[in-house]
Amino acid sequence: MSKKDKPATSKQAKSIHLPIQRDWNIWIIMGLAVILYGVTFGFDFVLDDEIMTRGNAFVNKGIAGIRDIFTHGTLYGFNGMNDQSYRPLMLANFALEKSLFKGTAGVYHFFNVFYYALASGLFYVFLKKALGPDSLIPLLAALIFVAHPIHTEVVANIKSRDELLSFIFVTCSLLYVLKYALDGNRTKDLIISLVFYLSAALSKETGLAMLGLVPLTLWFFTNLKPGRIAGISAFYLAPVAIYFLMRGSAMNNMFFASDINDIINNTLSGAKTSGEWFASRTMILGKYLGLLIYPHPLSYDYSYNQVPLVDMNDLGFLISSVVYLVLAGCFVWGLQYKRIYAYAIGFYAVMLVMVSNFLTPIGATMAERFLFSASAGFCLALGWGIVVLAEKFQISKNILYGIAGGILLLYAVKTFSRTQVWATQEKLFKSGLETAPNSARAQNHYGTYLRMLAEGIQNPNDKNKTEHFTEATKYYQKALEIYPEYTEAQYNLGVTYMALNNTEDARLAFEKTIKIDPGYEGALNNLAIISINKKDYQTAIAYWDQLLAKNPNSFDGLKNCASVLAYTNNLQKALEYYERALKINPKHQGVIDNIQKVKARINQTAVPFNSVQ
């Protein structure tokens, strides 16, 4: 066993501190992170950024909203849904920045870069604690981590603050459990580690996976016996229990209950056989490893059908199977000898397993952000590999630095170029057309961008308005060619046809939408409006009744249907619908006024009726 492969001993560890102020390497690492991503300070909100920030009612309250953040699901402040993720520390982080710094896009991007620099620096500190102060591996691994292009989504996308915070807390937790094991079993260090572990889970659920890293870390980097390692690891079940108690008390459902099985989000949900299920998931694991080794091309979207399902005869599945079997063998072999490469493999596997779709379906086929924490294992393995090769072939330090520098330069150039596409919604969606041409969602996203661009043009006679709407229909049609049952694209196509005054095509698009999803509210509402324009009031009422059967608390459905019922002299039912609408929105003056008018008409008082504005 080489010196680099030896686990830290208790004697060795006593001389190891966290000399952040005296170690210039950590500042080099953090400085590189700022240099690579400082350009993002001027970036806008993209994708789901607004959902988690200025579109979230609790975040907009600032510090005053933190109580609500911890007692509700992540999306409750945006759409009232309380059955999806539970990531209160992320939202609390945003709320604090909202109170202190007004919560502009630039502020949120600034702190994303700050937390990325901090995460990279802490990764270095952890590896120094594990491998010793004289090892070159921590510096190489941390620099590779900073420069790796796979991280561009996490750093440039504000919404991915959850990944950053979770990784920071995971690293801190591992650091302090090592301090506990190596520096005299101080209870304080163990408690700090447990608090950091709970914080990782409260930042993002995948932080729970760290439970598997605790025994691995203690095994590889201490001389503790297996029984003692198991005893320490058992303490980490307490934060797991606390997390689920908090989640259970805050949410309507303990686990995800939304659209994780929607094929447009997760292509894997369309697997028809167990063989297809297994082969496709394994093939995706191979793609993940491929992106770590050769991060090109990168894409913000990998949804249906950019990564098609495969069977067990697929070459990608076969290659991936062989590679992972070899990695498993290396891990088992290295485990007994406490080899660094085996720890790197274990780190990668543990942090990837929860987002692999193997344990449970998740809300995406694959995503670069899912590799963020797991990539630390790859970076450690690559740093170790460079050092081992240098030792084996007696390469001079200058050549070693040249090899490492070449890898870092290639990664940094790719990172800088890839970061640029996250600057605006337009650039990002345009990039998706190139990097994910077979994704129905990428086509739909760009169509919606064009449609909203057209809607923002106030002059109805501006030819750009018509051109943008017309161009948008082409992208919606492409999305539907890829996935004909894509309700969102079908609905968006109908909305665009309405904007172009193409009523008949709009009607057909909305009818196709409700054929796929009979309760699609927007399509039902628009079909009712089209019917009203044709003076077919009974058909309009039928569509709204269908909408209200799906969602009895639809304010617009109740209000609009009540207007038509009143117009057609079905006054009692109109009054009932208006009163239901008023319970939902008690301050809506138009509804209040029309309730009075309907009551007056019921009492045969001659008061003219106008529809709600």
pLDDT for residue 17: 39
Structural domain includes residue 353: yes
Q: How many domains does the chain have?
A: 2
Mean pLDDT of the residues in the chain? 92
Q: What is the pLDDT of residues 156-184, one digit of tens each?
A: 999 999 999 999 999 999 999 999 999 99
Q: What is the pLDDT of residues 445-494, one digit of tens each?
A: 999 999 999 999 999 989 999 999 999 999 999 999 999 999 999 999 99
Please tell me whether residues 478 and 371 are part of one structural domain: no
Give the span between the Cα atoms of 601 and 569, in whole angstroms: 9
* 253 pLDDT higher than 80: no
pLDDT for residue 3: 40
**CB burial readout 559-569, b (16+ within 10 A) else e:** bbbbbbbbeee
Which of 96-100, 147-151, 359-363 has the lowest average pLDDT? 359-363
CATH of residue 476's domain is 1.25.40.10
pLDDT for residue 371: 97
- Residue 495: pLDDT band (50, 70, 90) is very high
Range of the domain at 448: 426-602
Please tell me whether residues 244 and 279 are part of one structural domain: yes
* 116 pLDDT higher than 90: yes
Structural domain includes residue 7: no
Q: Give the alpha-carbon dihedral of 327, 332, 333, 339, to 10 degrees.
A: 80
Alpha helices in 183-313 (DSSP H): 187-203, 213-221, 226-234, 237-250, 274-293
* 131 pLDDT higher than 60: yes
Q: What is the DSSP string of 129-185?
A: HHH-TT-SHHHHHHHHHHH-GGGHHHHH-GGGHHHHHHHHHHHHHHHHHHHHHHTT-
Give the span between the Cα atoms of 558 and 524, in whole angstroms: 13
Domain boundary among 399, 420, 441: 420
Structural domain includes residue 472: yes
Sign of the CA dihedral with 244 first, then 247, 253, and 256 last: negative
Average pLDDT, stretch 425-450?
Answer: 97
Please tell me whether residues 415 and 517 are part of one structural domain: no
pLDDT for residue 360: 84
Domain boundary among 385, 420, 455: 420
Domain boundary among 420, 448, 474: 420
Please tell me whether residues 415 and 434 are part of one structural domain: no
Cis peptide before 25 (omega within 30 of 0): no
Please tell me whether residues 407 and 320 are part of one structural domain: yes
pLDDT for residue 613: 41
Q: What is the pLDDT of residues 90-101, one digit of tens each?
A: 999 999 999 999
Q: What is the pLDDT of residues 209-246, one digit of tens each?
A: 999 999 999 999 999 999 999 999 999 999 999 999 99
Q: What is the pTM of this model?
A: 0.91
Please tell me whether residues 227 and 345 are part of one structural domain: yes
pLDDT for residue 29: 97
- 228, two tokens: 């003692």
Please tell me whether residues 471 and 516 are part of one structural domain: yes
* 258 pLDDT higher than 60: no
Structural domain includes residue 607: no
Structural domain includes residue 409: yes
Structural domain includes residue 339: yes
Q: What is the DSSP string of 427-438?
A: HHHHHHHHH-TT
DSSP 8: P
pLDDT for residue 494: 98
Nearest to 564 by CA among 527, 600, 520: 527
- Residue 22: pLDDT band (50, 70, 90) is low
Please tell me whether residues 361 and 439 are part of one structural domain: no
Q: What is the pLDDT of residues 28-46, one digit of tens each?
A: 999 999 999 999 999 999 9
pLDDT for residue 401: 86
Nearest to 60 by CA among 106, 97, 109: 97
Nearest to 37 by CA among 143, 140, 163, 156: 156
Structural domain includes residue 292: yes
* 295 pLDDT higher than 60: yes
First-to-last alpha carbon distance for the chain, in angstroms, is 79
Give the span between the Cα atoms of 436 and 179, in whole angstroms: 45
Please tell me whether residues 361 and 477 are part of one structural domain: no
Please tell me whether residues 245 and 283 are part of one structural domain: yes
Please tell me whether residues 365 and 460 are part of one structural domain: no
Average pLDDT, stretch 301-330?
Answer: 97
Please tell me whether residues 496 and 387 are part of one structural domain: no
pLDDT for residue 171: 98
pLDDT for residue 474: 98
Structural domain includes residue 11: no
pLDDT for residue 81: 85
Q: What is the pLDDT of residues 519-563, one digit of tens each?
A: 999 999 999 999 999 999 999 999 999 999 989 999 999 999 999
Question: Would you tell me how many other CB atoms lie within 10 Å of the CB of residue 606?
Answer: 6
